[in-house]
A and B are shown apart, each in its own frame.
Chain A
């Protein structure tokens, strides 16, 4: 069966520090991968999605970036965090050609 992992589960970082969040999927190949953010009091927002290794599409311009170094690994990064980067970050995957997305457990990021 397929599983999706995210880590860390929670993170507290100072403003200006770097960020690296990792997401991995097991039990499937060639998944579409997604990074979403849910800011306090707001709905989920798509940040990045990827249809293959090295292929990243950005939905919202910001100081975050994403990379997909391996088929089932998706990384969200920042060189310098802002206060506004605080939120709940969710990774999700879907099988090629299908629409159902499966979400990871999320990372709660607090930038102080």
Chain B
């Protein structure tokens, strides 16, 4: 079993829909990261959180430490949100363990 599990693996949505991507982990973490990987491969860090909830524009990330679960929400989705979203957990040594990613495609 992978230490970081994401669901769904693939997600297709219509423009304007509310999107949720889930991440569960089984190891102790210092923080949880949500990353966005564009088709060309470049990766951008979206959020780093260790408790509660963070919001940036149309993106919201939540984490439940007791349940070892995090969600990434996108409100009013847009085709430019199409990308692979990766959940990663930070260990005390500073390294990250990654989920396999969720490929999101938003259709106009």
Residues of A within 8 A of B (CB): 32, 34, 36, 38, 42-46, 49, 51, 57, 59, 88, 90, 94, 99-103, 105-106, 108
Contacts and interface: CB of A to CB of B under 8 A. Distances in A.
B88 A103 contact: no
Contact of B30 (A42, A59, A99): A99
28 contacts: A34-B96, A42-B100, A43-B98, A43-B100, A44-B86, A44-B88, A45-B98, A46-B95, A46-B96, A88-B41, A90-B41, A94-B94, A99-B30, A99-B33, A99-B48, A99-B94, A100-B48, A101-B33, A101-B45, A103-B35, A103-B42, A103-B43, A103-B44, A103-B45, A106-B41, A106-B42, A106-B43, A108-B41
B65 interface: no
A105 B42 contact: yes
